[in-house]
Amino acid sequence: MKISAKIIVFNEESNIAEACRSVDWADELVIVDSFSTDRTVEIAREFTDKVFFNRFENFRQQHIFADSKTSHDWVFWLDADERLSPELRQSILKLQELGEDVLPSAYRFSRRAQYFGRWIKHSGWYPNRVLRLYRKSASNWRDNPVHEGVTIEGDIGTLEGDLLHYTYNSLRDQHEVVAKYAALAADFRFEQGERAGWWSVLVRPPIAFIESYFLKLGFLDGLHGLFIAYFRAYGVFLRSALIWEHRHREDDFPEPSEEGPDAQRQVETKEIISE
C-alpha cells in the first residue's frame, strides 16, 4: 500500500516544516500553495519537489487539484497546523505493510486540539473523528465552503492514535478565523435559501453556548472551555446576523424595474422637484 500525503497551504512558513516532517513516512508528499507571500514555498521545497500553485477559489477545488497531482490512489490529507501522534503514525505504518485488496475505502481517527497550551478533552472538541486517509477512486469532495470534506463509496475503518491540532496563536487570531468562516457559511447558506429572523439571531447563540459549555462538558476544560463556548456562540450569532444582512440588503437595493434605471431616476427627480 503506497500513500501520497498532501498539504494545502497559504502563508504557513511557521508551520510547514514540522508538518512535512510529520508525514516523512509517506511515499510521496504533494504541497499545493495558493501563492503565499512569505517563505512557505521556499521551505516546502526542502522536503519535496512536488510543490504546485493553484489560485484559491474554495477548499473543494483546492482538494480536487491536489488529489490530481498525487501519484497513488491512497491519499493522506494533513493541514499545516496538524501533526501525527506516535500512535497514529504507527497505525499508518502497519497499514502500509498490507495489501490494498484487504483494506476498506477510507479511515477515520480522532483529532485532539491544543488550545493555548492545553489539550482539550471536552467542549465538543474531542474525540473529533476526522476522515483523512482515503482512496481517490472512492472519493468525492463535498461542495461546502466551510466544512470541506470527502464522501466515500465503500467501508470506512478506524485507526488508533490522534491527529494533533495546534489551533490559534492568539484570541485575536481566533476572532479573525471565526469571523472569516462565519461569513463564508452565511454566504453559502443564504445561497441555499436559508433566512434568519429574530430566533436565529437571539436564541441560537445562547443555545450554542449551553451546548458547548454544559452539555458537552466544556466547564471541565476550565477557562479554556469558557472561551471555546463563547466563540462558538459568537460564530453562530455572526453567521445568523450576516444571513439577515444579506436579506435586508436585497430589500434595500431591489432589482431595477423593467423601464430601466434612468426611468426610475427621472421619477425620483420629479418627486424632489414637486416637494
Residues 163, 181, single domain; the answer is: no
Whether 65 and 156 share a structural domain: yes
Quick one: 113 and 40 in the same domain?
yes
CATH number of 82's domain = 3.90.550.10
Is pLDDT at 263 greater than 50 in this prediction? no
What integer is the mean pLDDT of 102-130? 97
Please give the tally of structural domains in the chain: 2
Identify whether residues 24 and 153 lie together within a single domain. Answer: yes
Q: Looking at the structure, tell me whether residues 231 and 95 fall in a common domain.
A: no
Identify the domain containing residue 215 by its residue range: 171-252
Average pLDDT over residues 68-77: 98
- Cα 10 from Cα 80, distance rounded (Å): 9
Cell 435586508, residue located: 248
Banded model confidence at residue 241, pLDDT cuts 50, 70, 90:
very high
The backbone torsions φ and ψ at residue 42, rounded to the nearest 5 degrees and listed phi first, read -55, -45
CB–CB of 85/110 below 8 Å? Answer: no
Condensed to tens digits (0 to 9), the pLDDT of residues 166-208 reads 999 999 999 999 999 999 999 999 999 999 999 999 999 999 9
Average pLDDT over residues 9-19: 98
pLDDT in tens, 144-163: 777 778 999 999 999 999 99
Domain boundary among 113, 136, 168: 168
Percent of the chain with pLDDT over 70: 91
Strand (E) positions, the chain?
A: 3-9, 28-33, 51-53, 74-78, 82-84, 106-115, 118-119, 128-135, 139-141, 150-152, 156-166
Which of residues 69 and 100 earns the better pLDDT score? Answer: 69
Question: What is the chain's mean pLDDT, rounded?
Answer: 92
Residues 65 and 187 in one domain: no
Answering whether pTM is above 0.75, one says yes
Determine the pLDDT at residue 266.
42
Joined together, the cell numbers standing for residue 131 give: 476522515
Whether residue 267 lies inside any domain: the answer is: no
Residue 265 has pLDDT above 90, yes or no: no
